Structure 1
Amino acid sequence: MNMMVTRRALLGGLALGGGAALLPQAAWAWKADSTALYPATSAFIRGFVDRRELAGTLAAIGKGQAEASFFGAGVQSLSDGVPVGPDTLWRLYSMTKPVTGIAAMLLIEDGRMKLDQPIADFLPAFANMKVQNTPDGSITDVRPAKGPITVRQLLTHTAGLGYNIIQKGPIKKAYDDAGIVGGRASRLPIPGLAPVTPAPSLAAMADRLAALPLVYEPGTKWSYSISLDLLGRVIEVASGQSFDAFLKARLFDPLGMASTGFSVAAKDVARFTSNYAAFGGALIPFDPATSSIYLDQPPYPFGGGGLVSSARDYDRFLAMLLGEGETNGVRVMKTETARLAMSNLIDHSVDRKGSFIDGQGFGAGGRVSLPTSPGGEGIFGWAGAAGTIGFVHRGLGYRVGGYTQIMPPETVSFQGKFGETVFQDVMR
């Protein structure tokens, strides 16, 4: 099976061709009025299934704190024909990052760490970092970093760290050799991606990362990185709990997100999706639900790309953000903390040219729109490597989620065009 999944396939970017002979074309609406409320979005997500480009698609749109509308088309897996629904489980990949970012903000609210505190206060191995003289060049031609890595920089991808799905040359090899990875894709070997054995724990990953040089000076450049995964380790030390236990106690349990975690239990496989890629005009499952790598516990909880969740669960997280820390009578963070988390936390001096956030801002693990951004001010969220996307638009008062499973996501326009299609409906 000559499937190619590029590095870009694993990014939380903004956005397969071919067909599968038996793709179902039926669509459904969990609320009877969803198609009338969101006609452009309904037609948009259904079209990918009708054209046999995706196995299943789903949209979740909520206004204010009102119950969300869930509507979708197609199936969880071509092999079982089970329709997608609000409780279908999806690989979120980088939609995990805002969850990790909000977890860190809870500790800032608790006074256990500060936004501009050096992470060396929690992880002493990061006290005297070196920086590559040539980004992605030699890992021995280095200089001392001019300043410390801070919590803010981990939240905003400005710490100067690399990513094995971004970097090239010796630093990428060093990351791979050290098992410094941000997620899982399949049990199968995937051409284009080097086989990597992840570090055995968050603590080990952090220690190995500290021994390698930074790619850029801290605080100078926006560079998509392993920083949210490292932040998971900072959260462990600052909270005194394992990272996954902290998420469960402070976010998932209070919000009723019982279907969200870093693996899929045997009892939930029947509602888990398969992940697909395009090959020879067909959809090929390279991570089938019934034998998925997500059925195993991960070596460590990937704060940058490890969560599996349902649209219903993630909508609860988005509703909390839109409610500035509160939803359904449950407050998980102060209003001022939520506002800070969704604000632009990077300075104008940070180089963003040519990046995913060129001309935009970044908050606690998610992109922040500016007054000059498409869609206007007030958007906070991020997207995932298997085609998902989730955000709130605080200006318009909406929370939005789009779900499918395809890698790389940018080979169809589902992820890239989903947001603007929703705006067509809510602005009409």
Structure 2
Amino acid sequence: MTEVEVEVEPGEAGFDAKRLHRLGDHLDKYVDEGHLPGVNVLVSREGKIVYRHMYGQRDMERALPVEADTIYRFYSMTKPITSVAIMQLYERGAFQLKDPISNWIPSFAQSQVFVGGDAENPQTREASRAISIHDLLTHTSGLTYFFHMAHVVDEMYRRAGFDWTTSPGDLESQCDILASLPLLFDPGTEWNYSYSTDVLGRLIEVMSGMSLDAYFKRNIFEPLGMVDTDFSVPSEKQERFASCYYPNGEARQVALLDDAQRSRYLHEPPAFSGGGGLVSTLADYHLFTQALRNGGSLDGQRIVGRKTLDFMTSNHLPGGVDLTEYGRPLFSETAYDGVGFGLGFSVVIDPAKAKVLCQKGEYAWGGAASTAFWIDPVEDLTVIFLTQLLPSSTHPIRPEMKTLVYQALE
């Protein structure tokens, strides 16, 4: 499936068509003003596509337009796929969520927590308990990311070789290095966006006996017909690949960051990143989100159980609190106010506190290059937005899109 076309008119699906077109008009302004290279958006309701919009370019240097089959860097929109994959193994009895990850990755058996010092001479103490699989799924493991630039441990990650373009060795080696670095906090005591989902990817490999890419293909991509989703772009698809951009200077005009024809994504990576390594298309991710919207199955192919998915898209933060109360005020692919976190997804728990037009129970995630999706089970609504501008915090596109979609409902 490469084509994604409107299947039902907006008015037949409970939308005011004129008001819904405000969405494309608004996004086009970002492109016309030089703030985004191009946009690609899909809105579906009750399993039918009601709105499609493409505008701008996938490769500004070569004047190549955004097309239905354009291939994008999905970055952290890989995480929901990895989370579903590990829960498939949970459904097969491979583990319990409380199990320590050291059962499969022994280097995590003696986790230490940072208490003082600097990156060269950190002071640590033994963690109060072991990191569990549930901690990884909920980002409460105590791990972090190199790009937070907020803590000594973040610096230690950078010194260990973690950055945007390189990583230290294969996935097994990376996990052993992560295990050797101190945690930010005791597992289960705070929320912090981190390499947790990459470690989940390694757990999938160990438990299944398969490489992460092979596991994804057999258990998710092939059953759903996701033919353009992988950890690299093959040569025959290179022409379809989008370049990635960044906001340059105070005017935040787009400038080339990663040339599609010279990108590292044209080669197989040294490690398969379950936290942010996939490239994909609008059509492929639409298949994945429709399987989620349909309770875990699509066209007779079930990738996860209905009850399991309900469990994953519930708020798992202790006491039902939101990320503001439990998380560190650092970058992630979600807002914090009124938003909880499940097993691989953000979950809206209080729209009024979020101060964004949205729906309680809506679950979502996004990627570093400003991509995003959300699923609203109440309104039976799915939205996917694709572009390539890093970082995703550059513009308030996600809350703006929610306003523009929900205001169009009859």
On whether the aligned pair clears a TM of 0.5, the verdict is: yes
- The residue aligned with 2:173 is 204
Q: Which residue of 52, 76, 85 corresponds with 2:58?
A: 76
Offset at residue 419 of structure 1 (A): 2.5
Q: Hey, what's the Cα distance between the residues in 1 that align with 2:254 and 2:303?
A: 41
* Number of residue pairs matched by the alignment: 386
Secondary structure at 2:27 match in 1: helix
Asked if residue 424 in structure 1 is aligned to residue 407 in structure 2, the reply is yes
Offset at residue 50 of structure 1 (A): 2.7
Instruction: Give the 3 Å change call, closer, same or farther, for CA 160–56 of structure 1 in structure 2.
Output: same
Q: Which residue of 209, 214, 228 corresponds with 1:245?
A: 214
Name the stretch that deviates more: 294-303 or 73-82. Answer: 73-82
Q: Which runs of 5+ in 1 are unaligned?
A: 1-28, 185-196
- The residue aligned with 1:309 is 280
Secondary structure at 1:303 match in 2: coil
Name the stretch that deviates more: 41-50 or 330-339. Answer: 41-50
Name the stretch that deviates more: 73-82 or 257-266. Answer: 73-82
Q: Which residue of 392, 408, 415 corresponds with 2:391?
A: 408
Deviations 1:251-274 (A, max 9, x none): 111111111111111111111111
Secondary structure at 1:94 match in 2: helix
Offset at residue 140 of structure 1 (A): 3.1
- The residue aligned with 1:352 is 327
- The residue aligned with 1:117 is 99
Q: Which runs of 5+ in 2 are unaligned?
A: 11-16
Offset at residue 337 of structure 1 (A): 1.1
Offset at residue 54 of structure 1 (A): 1.7
Q: Which amino acid aligns with 1:284?
A: A
Secondary structure at 1:171 match in 2: helix
- The residue aligned with 2:348 is 369
- CA root-mean-square deviation: 2.3
Offset at residue 345 of structure 1 (A): 2.0
Asked if residue 146 in structure 1 is aligned to residue 115 in structure 2, the reply is no
Residues 163, 172 of structure 1: 8 Å contact kept: yes
Secondary structure at 1:408 match in 2: coil
Instruction: Give the 3 Å change call, closer, same or farther, for CA 37–261 of structure 1 in structure 2.
Output: farther
Structure-to-structure mapping, 1:206-355, within 5 angstroms: 206-279=175-248, 282-348=253-319, 351-352=326-327, 354=329
- The residue aligned with 1:39 is 21
Residues 119, 155 of structure 2: 8 Å contact kept: no
Name the stretch that deviates more: 279-288 or 231-240. Answer: 279-288
- The residue aligned with 2:14 is none
Residues 155, 364 of structure 1: 8 Å contact kept: yes
Offset at residue 371 of structure 1 (A): 4.2
Name the stretch that deviates more: 302-311 or 138-147. Answer: 138-147
Q: Hey, what's the Cα distance between the residues in 1 that align with 2:233 and 2:262?
A: 11
Q: Hey, what's the Cα distance between the residues in 1 that align with 2:63 and 2:110?
A: 54
Secondary structure at 1:179 match in 2: coil
Secondary structure at 2:48 match in 1: coil
Offset at residue 305 of structure 1 (A): 1.1
- The residue aligned with 1:5 is none
Residues 45, 72 of structure 1: 8 Å contact kept: no
Offset at residue 178 of structure 1 (A): 2.5
Q: Which amino acid aligns with 1:214?
A: L
Asked if residue 397 in structure 1 is aligned to residue 368 in structure 2, the reply is no
Q: Which amino acid aligns with 2:275?
A: G
With structure 1 as the length reference, what TM-score do the two structures score?
0.84
Q: Hey, what's the Cα distance between the residues in 1 that align with 2:150 and 2:248?
A: 26
Structure-to-structure mapping, 1:141-220, within 5 angstroms: 141-168=123-150, 170-181=152-163, 184=165, 197-220=166-189
Q: Which residue of 33, 36, 42 corresponds with 1:51?
A: 33
Q: Which amino acid aligns with 2:329?
A: G
Deviations 1:56-113 (A, max 9, x none): 1011111122246431111111123332133111111111111111111111111112
Residues 114, 153 of structure 2: 8 Å contact kept: no
Instruction: Give the 3 Å change call, closer, same or farther, for CA 384–37 of structure 1 in structure 2.
Output: same
Residues 115, 125 of structure 2: 8 Å contact kept: yes
Name the stretch that deviates more: 397-406 or 415-424. Answer: 415-424
Q: Hey, what's the Cα distance between the residues in 2 that align with 1:53 and 1:168?
A: 27
Residues 139, 213 of structure 1: 8 Å contact kept: no
Q: Hey, what's the Cα distance between the residues in 1 that align with 2:89 and 2:180?
A: 26
Q: Which residue of 384, 388, 395 corresponds with 2:371?
A: 388
Q: Which amino acid aligns with 1:342?
A: T
Offset at residue 177 of structure 1 (A): 3.0
Q: Hey, what's the Cα distance between the residues in 1 that align with 2:117 and 2:169?
A: 27
Name the stretch that deviates more: 157-166 or 132-141. Answer: 132-141
Offset at residue 412 of structure 1 (A): 2.7
Secondary structure at 1:409 match in 2: coil
Offset at residue 414 of structure 1 (A): 2.6
Q: Which has the higher contact order (CA 8 A, sep 6+)?
A: 1
Q: Hey, what's the Cα distance between the residues in 1 that align with 2:125 and 2:286?
A: 45
With structure 2 as the length reference, what TM-score do the two structures score?
0.88
Name the stretch that deviates more: 83-92 or 412-421. Answer: 412-421
Instruction: Give the 3 Å change call, closer, same or farther, for CA 409–50 of structure 1 in structure 2.
Output: same
Q: Hey, what's the Cα distance between the residues in 2 that align with 1:146 and 1:409?
A: 34
Deviations 1:268-304 (A, max 9, x none): 1111111112336543212111111211211101111
Q: Which amino acid aligns with 1:332?
A: I
